[in-house]
A and B are shown apart, each in its own frame.
Chain A
Amino acid sequence: MRMRMMKMLLLLGLCCGPVCCGQNQSDPRDQRVFPVLSVNYDYVQMPFEVSLWILLASLLKLGFHLLPRLSAVVPESCLLIVVGLLVGGLIRVMGKKPPVLDSQLFFLCLLPPIILDAGYFLPLRPFTENAGTILSFAVLGTLWNTFFTGALLYACRPAALELLPCLLFGSIVSAVDPVAVLAVFEEIHINELLHILVFGESLLNDAVTVVLYHLFEEFAHAGEVTAGDVFLGVVCFFVVALGGVLVGGVYGVLAAFTSRFTSHTRVIEPLFVFLYSYMAYLSAEVFHLSGIMALIACGVIMRPYVEANISHKSYTTIKYFLKMWSSVSETLIFVFLGVSTVAGPHAWNWTFVTITIVLCLLSRVLGVVGLTFIINKYRMVKLSGKDQFIVAYGGLRGAIAFSLAFLLSSDDFPMKDMFLTAIITVIFFTVFVQGMTIRPLVDLLAVKKRKESKCSINEEIHTQFLEHLLAGIEGVCGHYGHHHWRDKLNRFNKRYIKRCLIGGERSQEPQLVSFYNKMELKQALMLLESNSSANLSTAVTAAAPRQRSLKTLNISKEREEEIRKILRANLQKTQQRLRSYSRHTLMPDAEDDWSETLLKKQQEEMERRMSNFLTVPAAPARRLESGERLRSGSFFFSERSAGEVNARRKPSVKFSLEPPKPPRGPEHLLEEDEELMHRRH
């Protein structure tokens, strides 16, 4: 009845509309019917298209992983480029012009997330251990590639090119691309050393590429080169590289300092990390310094301090946001590369393209072999032939080369289209041919794969011990080596820097302790996750050991009911609290307090376990105490029981934050928990 009334009213309303408009016919202005539904696409065009592209890219990623056989053979980057080609073709068939990968969009929006992700999670120890090798590959290797390719191209004269455009082309095409390397190497899981060599080289060669690119561009514009210009070029290189690192360092320190004060505003902690890093990148780009090096320096410098200051949730947020953005960026880059191939004006020149590909390969191989020969004299762990092959073969080119070529002005470089075509061909060749074949080659050559890194407290203790030992022995020898300086840096860091940049008492925490805490937290969380889903009673019975003294506690029925009621009531309260969640009323440090207490409890638990377990077995009288459960000696068993106890404790700890306390305090609840557990056996 009511529904019918509503429908009638609605209809009436709708009729009135046009009627009223109709009554305005005497009005001289144009009579339009009030538009109930209209289309205004221009209003949302830009964000709509951007979102559509990103959605397309993400759906594609989803799709690939649903086809396991395909993704095992073909690396994702190849598939994405093919999709880009298809999409570009589709757009062209529809009659519109496919969008080209805009260089500004690429350098300012798509590249930074990938580099920040790489820099923030850069494994610092292998990087510093191989820093010399990486730098020589990045700097000397890229210089060699550029001049070799450029000079030989000029010698061959495929299109009557002058020397300077050849050298410029050489500099663009010879840089190993971090995006492509990451995309391919992520999937093949080679050992850490090779990964960091190729990847580190691809990051650090940005400085060289930037300098050479601008240098040759300027010279081509000016027309002639003098010795002074060359000297200035060298100076420029140092300015660009060191300036980039400096800018990154400044922003990194700022970020670390800011994170010291964020204990009351945990929600925006990740934002500081992202913003400071992006500002570092942009600031470096303002002065034509190396933005990539600034970003890497910022991430590397701020990470230890920021991680000591921020909450666990913020850490997870940063990790997942970075991974998400870099994944989306990478997908978009490859798709756009495909689309741009269909779009861009092409000038195909067989000789130029073939010579380019041949020269790229040749210069890479020669460069790697030659440099390794020299570097191996200074290395402890020599690079074998297999390693050299992988390093040479892993030198993939990617979107950075394309974008740099795209930025060239057509007036100074009339052969820009030819360059673009050649670069696209090189990129396709390296990504498709080298990318697809590197995995079977790695298996064929039996290159060492990445070993699963287990969190081992023993290894950590001994790594630290070795560091101090080696520094001490160097002191005895009187030799100021590598270990001595590293030791000095660590001490300086601990005494001055950590005190400024890390808030609270964590500034005094040595590395071993923070490693241990992290490990414990991880284990505790793992145990909780595995136990929290289980029913309370089944969890308890599951952990029942075979040999236990049958001690039965006589808890009366009423008491048990009381305990259950209290537990239930408190659980309900927790649920209510979660329902009224608002970002402004996020519980301050609820999670941190809980994890602290959890850790302390687990430590106490372990204490008790250890004192019974690792010393001479106690007299039988002790067996009947609460020590009974702990005498099991099995690491896994006691962990699980500790987990149960902790799972049980979980409600009680959270409740300590509630204003209305249960009639008996949390401690009593704990004892009753244990008694309850005992009773079940």
Chain B
Amino acid sequence: MGSFQSLPDDHQYRTLSQKTGFSLEQIAILHNRFKQLSQNEETLRRDDLKTIQDLESNPIRSQIIEAFFDRRNFQKDGVGSVEEIGFEEFLTVMSYFRAPAHHITEEQREEMRRAKLRFLFNMHDTDNDGTITLEEYRHVVEELLSRSGALGRETAKGIADAAMLEVASISVGPMAPDEFYEGITFEHFLKILKGIEIETTMHIHFLNMDTSVLCK
């Protein structure tokens, strides 16, 4: 593996392109960005991402950064998190935000939907037990409201509770008095977010990226 600093390795790019679905130009642009962020090293660390100014005012900043270092998102069936990632992992995480191509079959569309929703699910399920418990969901809502100051934990708890109850009523229906709802599994998660067309909403226009426009 030659260093990425000299000529772009075409063969490398082609395999990446096949794996993630990006075009060669998009990979080149993202590679430049990777180099910019990692200060020309081969791997990226959490601190490099923390220096991005635009992320500072983002309420879910820590979760976004964690998502880059989460092995479950690398499509290699790993678990846990890593300390540093290479360009391939960076690109793999970015590929979750690609738009669906024009003419894809229903199954491919469904597959893409599942992949994107799995990414979101992994962001919420921090302890990796396959379910989003009430505590984890509360944490999500608290983070979302964290920039809004004084309202605090009570409202966040109330909202998270209401949301969980809604999931329970949608997925499981009316429950007997002795049951209790453990947490949102991935299947339930798919069900409750059926209304949002994830494959078209969760995307970034990688097309229009121009190296001269890249900040910092």
Contacts and interface: CB of A to CB of B under 8 A. Distances in A.
B24 interface: no
B177 A547 contact: yes
Interface in B132-187: 134, 140-141, 144-145, 147-151, 154-155, 157-159, 161-169, 174-181
B145 A512 contact: yes
B120 interface: yes
Given A468-B58, A476-B55, A635-B174, A457 B204 contact: no
A463 B175 CA distance: 28
Contact of A513 (B33, B145, B166, B206): B145
Which of A451, A481, A545 has the most chain B CB atoms closer than 10 A to its own CB? A481
Contact of B52 (A458, A461, A475, A483): A475
Chain A interface helix/strand/loop/mixed? helix
Interface string B203-216: 11110110001111
Which of B49, B147, B148, B162 has the most chain A CB atoms closer than 10 A to its own CB? B162
B64 A473 contact: yes
Interface in A463-492: 463-466, 468-484, 487, 491
Given A470-B97, A617-B180, A631-B177, A456 B195 contact: yes
B166 A456 contact: yes
| Tier of interface size on chain A | 35 or more
Nearest to A454: B195
A458 B162 CA distance: 9
A478 B214 contact: yes
Chain B interface helix/strand/loop/mixed? helix
B94 interface: yes
Interface residues of B, number: 71
B79 interface: no
Contact of B164 (A463, A469, A614): A614
A382 B102 contact: yes
A478 B36 contact: yes
Contact of A458 (B54, B151, B192): B192
B57 interface: yes
B153 to A, nearest CB: 12
A634 B177 contact: yes
Interface string A515-529: 010011000000000
A478 B216 contact: yes
B58 A481 contact: no
A454 B163 CA distance: 13
Contact of A380 (B52, B99, B208): B99
B83 to A, nearest CB: 18
A615 interface: yes
Contacts of A663: none
Contacts of B21: none
B101 to A, nearest CB: 11
B175 A634 contact: yes
Given A465-B60, A473-B64, A513 B151 contact: yes
A636 interface: yes
A552 interface: no
B161 A610 contact: yes
A352 interface: no
Contacts of A381: 200
B170 to A, nearest CB: 8
A536 B157 CA distance: 32
A509 B148 CA distance: 7
Contact of A478 (B141, B205, B215): B215
Interface string A174-193: 00000000000000000000
Contact of B202 (A466, A614, A637): A466
Nearest to A637: B174
Given A464-B144, A468-B58, A458 B213 contact: no
Given A478-B215, A479-B214, A512-B145, A465 B162 contact: no
Contacts of B208: 479, 481
A545 B177 contact: yes
Contacts of B49: 476
A607 B177 contact: no
B97 A473 contact: yes
B45 to A, nearest CB: 14
A28 interface: no
Contacts of B177: 545, 547, 631-634
Given A479-B204, A480-B215, A636 B174 contact: yes
A462 to B, nearest CB: 6
Contact of A456 (B120, B192, B202, B205): B192
Contacts of A484: 54
A480 B213 contact: yes
Given A382-B102, A633-B178, A457 B97 contact: no
A539 B11 CA distance: 74
B72 interface: no
Given A459-B192, A475-B53, 18 more contacts: A457-B159, A457-B163, A458-B193, A459-B195, A462-B120, A465-B60, A465-B120, A476-B52, A477-B204, A508-B151, A509-B151, A516-B158, A606-B161, A614-B134, A631-B177, A633-B175, A634-B175, A635-B165
Interface of A: 380-382, 451, 454, 456-459, 461-466, 468-484, 487, 491, 508-510, 512-513, 516, 519-520, 545, 547, 603, 606-607, 610, 613-617, 631-637
14 contacts: A462-B120, A471-B54, A472-B55, A474-B204, A480-B213, A483-B204, A512-B145, A513-B151, A545-B177, A603-B158, A606-B158, A607-B158, A636-B174, A637-B174
